[in-house]
A and B are shown apart, each in its own frame.
Chain A
Amino acid sequence: MNARALLIVALAAGLLTACGGNSDEPPVAVDERVVPTSATASPLAYTDYVATRPLEDALEPLVVQAVVPPVSDVDEPLPLR
């Protein structure tokens, strides 16, 4: 393979890496302890989010200090069954 072809291969490899084609990089970790924004979109969403939290002995608590739960003084409770 001549030098020109080697350069093309090298450039192509670089482009693939830039396009995320490098399978050696680890995936972005999702912090499961963060309350998603969608959970505080409405009182219903918050209630539904809390209701669907799994019973799991191995989980760490959610980080909630910055959470501002939405409230409603007029809604009826969400049916849970």
Chain B
Amino acid sequence: MICNSRAPFAPLAPLLGAALLATCGLATASSHREAPFITTVPKVDATDFYLFRSYEGGRSDYITVVANYVPLQDAYGGPNYFAMDPNALYEIHLDNNGDAVEDISFQFRFQNKLAGGSGVTLPIGGKNVAIPLVQAGAVTGPSSPSLNLAETFTLDIKRGDRRKGSTAAVTNASGGSTSFPKPVDNIGVKTIPDYAGYAAQHIYTVNIPGCAMPAKVFVGQRQDPFAVNLGTIFDLVNAPVEVITNPALINAVPNTIADKNVTTLALEVHSSCLVKDDPVVGGWTSASLRQARLLDGSPMAGHQTAEKVGGAWTQVSRLGMPLVNEVVIGLKDKDKFNASKPHGDGQFIDYVTNPTLPALLEIALGLPGIAPTNFPRNDLVTTFLTGIAGVNQPRNVVASEMLRLNTTIPAVPFAQQNRLGIVGNILAGGNDNAGFPNGRRPKDDVVDIALVAVMGGLCVANGTTNALGFGTACNPSAVPLGATAFSLHDAVDQAVVPLLPAFPYLNTPLPGSR
């Protein structure tokens, strides 16, 4: 397929090199339960982060940012389902000058309140008794009286430092409210017969102080948009080599998380609100908990009353480019990575210059000697930490891990998007430079792109003449797999995952009952 194309590299060398560099940069998909501590607090576990120019018709001047949380939700997970944590701070950070420090942060806080303060009751034998469910009947619209638990959120924009910068509340363009109802999760077709219609009522047009154009925000459950052969990958890549190197078999096995939901924080913001002097915007998401917590051995009546939290916000989750903490950072440093900020990424440099994933693939596949040998892997450093020169590298970039989007590269309609992002587009001789690693769209198959990259595809493209500027050590002789590196995949095709044609782009979540 694309990976076996004989597209001429030389004339397109700079762009191809940049693209390959970006894709090689370990930008894989998703980040489910990737660190020891985060497995204990799933409500603040970021799973995926997307950053792209909106490709819905007429919206190309807008930038869509999506942060997904709470991995591996089974749709039937009642009676409490997956309300967000009111004791957490969820953030989306944007760096618009390349200095590895956030310039804008969108901060989401959640409030979960029982109806009437103490919840819905039923008269039972002369006594009013509280019901055990989050709903007391069918739910059809925001703030439905049938909901026993009302979930709402507030959204602030912070400019400057995420803690000490200036704060302003984002308001509903209709009415000016600062509190937004969040849709209840997709309990099932009897409670919510038309969940797509119900959820759509929770897409809000909002005013962001300091921004000339209104934006959109949606927070709610979605079908997990990530496609991966998850169990197989982590079981020492338990798949035949002849399958994962055959481009005809890119969708040979089922997506093992196709029946899972996630919770999405989605924003669509006009580029004029985010872009400053540099057209490249970097982004990542983080979640924080209060540093101090005491558990109550005798919780009061109410909702989530078993803990008393205090102190400062303490970051426990971080996600920019996907799969960094899953397959790049060593186990002993995963919690540290989740607590870290981009400007401190030098501490993790060995994981990039001397990556273990190729060697692990040798072990897993029983194929010694297939890992690239150009050390340090400056091809991965360049892709992973700076963006691609001429594509999505900020003018004054400070090396750091985050997703980077060139806001001047046009969006491409969904049907024309290349699933292998920029590198796939170049190999195919197409017109789609709007994909990963130039930001990330839901359709981009970052797992396949990452496999190609990490196993030396960049150095094959760099050739013997250092055509792409990765250094002379990054050449085909350092890539035992040779051109076969371009054929690698995980046998699950990201491009066939169902999506919506417009904001928030991610599909209606699966129902708890059908």
**In the complex, A31→B431 CA distance in Å?**
73
Using CB atoms, name the residue of chain B closest to A78.
B291
| Highest count of chain A CB atoms <10 Å: which of B163, B293, B298, B310 | B310
Given A74-B164, A76-B163: A35 and B294 interface contact (C-beta under 8 Å): yes
Instruction: List residues of chain A with CB within 8 A of the CB of B293.
Output: 50
Q: Name the CB-closest residue of A to B310.
A: A69
Q: Is B311 touching A65 in the complex (CB atoms < 8 A)?
A: no
> Given A50-B293, A61-B295, are A71 and B164 neighbors across the interface (CB < 8 Å)?
no
Let me know if B76 is at the binding interface, CB within 8 A.
Answer: no
Q: Which residue of B163, B300, B311 contacts A78 across the interface (Cβ within 8 Å)?
A: B311
Across the interface, A47 reaches (CB within 8 A) one of B163, B291, B295, namely B291
A61 to B163: give the CA distance in the assembly, Å: 33
Interface centre among B164, B290, B292 (most CB of A within 10 A): B292
- Complex Cα distance A74/B160, Å? 12
How far is A63 from B312 in the complex, measured between Cα atoms in Å? 22
Q: Is the CB of A61 within 8 A of B297?
A: yes
Q: Inside 8 A of B291's CB, which chain A residues have their CB?
A: 47, 77-78
Q: Is B277 an interface residue (CB 8 A)?
A: no
Q: How many A-B residue pairs have CB under 8 A?
A: 74
Query: Is the beta-carbon distance between B294 and A43 smaller than 8 angstroms?
Result: no
Closest to A33 in B: B297
Complex Cα distance, B309 from A74, in Å, reads 16
Contact call B296/A65, Cβ cutoff below 8 A: yes
Residue pairs across A and B with Cβ atoms less than 8 A apart, 18 shown, are: A43-B312, A46-B310, A50-B311, A61-B298, A63-B297, A65-B296, A65-B298, A65-B300, A69-B311, A71-B309, A74-B163, A75-B163, A76-B163, A77-B291, A77-B312, A77-B313, A77-B314, A78-B291
Find residues 148-187 in chain B having any chain A CB closer than 8 Å to their own CB.
163-164
Does A51 make an interface contact (CB < 8 A)? yes
Query: What 19 additional pairs, Cβ within 8 angstroms, besides A67-B308, A77-B311?
Result: A43-B310, A47-B310, A47-B311, A61-B295, A61-B296, A61-B297, A62-B294, A63-B298, A64-B297, A65-B298, A69-B290, A69-B308, A71-B310, A71-B311, A71-B312, A73-B313, A75-B311, A77-B312, A77-B313
In the bound complex, what is the Cα–Cα distance between A43 and B293 (angstroms)?
11
A60 at the interface (CB under 8 A from B): yes
Given that A47-B292, A50-B294, A61-B295 are contacting pairs, would A73 and B163 also be in contact in the complex, using a CB cutoff of 8 Å?
A: yes
Q: How many interface residues does chain A have, given as a range?
A: 20 to 34
If A50-B293, A71-B290 touch, whether A43 touches B311 (CB-CB below 8 Å) is: yes
Contact (Cβ within 8 A) B296 A78: no
Whether A72 is near chain B, meaning CB under 8 Å from some CB there, is: yes
Specify the chain A residue showing the minimal Cβ separation from B307.
A64
Is A76's CB under 8 angstroms from B294's CB? Answer: no
> In the bound complex, do residue A67 and residue B311 qualify as a contact, i.e. CB atoms below 8 Å apart?
no
A21 within 8 A of B: no
CA distance A67 to B309 in the complex (A): 10
- Give complex CA distance A43, B310 in Å: 6
- CB proximity to A under 8 Å, residues B294-350: 294-298, 300, 308-314
Chain A positions within 8 Å of B290 at CB level? 69, 71
Smallest CB–CB gap between B368 and chain A, Å?
41
Contacts of A35 in B (CB 8 A): 294
Instruction: Verify if A70 is at the interface (C-beta below 8 Å from B).
Output: yes
**Cβ 8 A contact of A60, one of B292, B295, B297:** B297
Which residues from A are CB-within-8-Å of B298?
Answer: 61, 63, 65
With both chains docked as a complex, state the minimum distance between the C-beta of A3 and any C-beta of chain B, in angstroms: 60
Q: Within 8 Å CB of B295, what residues of A? A: 61, 64
Separation in Å of the B424 CB from the closest CB of chain A? 42
* Chain B residues near A70 (CB-CB < 8 A): 310-311
Q: How far is the CB of A4 from chain B (nearest CB, A)?
A: 60
How many angstroms between the C-alpha atoms of A17 and B434 in the bound complex? 88
A-contact bits for B19-58, CB 8 A (1 contact / 0 none): 0000000000000000000000000000000000000000
- Complex-state Cα separation, A50 to B314, whole angstroms: 15
Which of A35, A73, A75 has the most C-beta atoms of chain B within 10 angstroms of its own C-beta?
A73
A35 and chain B: residue at smallest CB distance: B294
Given A51, A62, A63, A76, which contacts B292 in the complex, CB threshold below 8 Å? A51
Q: Are B312 and A78 in contact (CB under 8 A)?
A: yes
Chain B min CB distance to A45 (Å) = 9
Question: Chain B contacts of A46 at CB under 8 A?
Answer: 292, 310-311
Closest A residue to B288 by CB, please name it: A77
- A35 vs B297: C-alpha distance in the bound complex, in angstroms? 13
Q: Shortest distance in angstroms between B125's beta carbon and chain A's nearest beta carbon?
A: 30
Contacts of B314 in A (CB 8 A): 77
**Cα(A35)–Cα(B378), bound, Å:** 54
Tell me the minimal C-beta distance from B166 to chain A in angstroms: 12
- Closest chain-B Cβ to A29's Cβ sits at a distance in Å of 20
Chain B residue numbers with a CB within 8 Å of A47 are 291-292, 310-312
Q: Which residues of B contact A43 (CB under 8 A)?
A: 292, 310-312
What residue in chain B is nearest A61 (Cβ atoms)?
B297
A75's closest neighbor in chain B, by CB?
A: B312
B127 to chain A, nearest CB (A): 25
A76 CA to B295 CA, complexed, in Å: 23
Q: How near does chain A come to B301, taking the closest CB pair, in angstroms?
A: 11
With A and B bound together, what is the CA distance between A76 and B313 in angstroms? Answer: 7
> What is the CB-to-nearest-CB distance from A72 to chain B, in angstroms, rounded to a whole number?
5
Query: Which residues of the partner chain A approach B312 to less than 8 Å between Cβ atoms?
Result: 43, 47, 71-72, 75-78
In the bound assembly, the distance between CA atoms of A40 and B292 in angstroms comes to 11
**In this complex, what residue of A is CB-closest to B311?**
A47
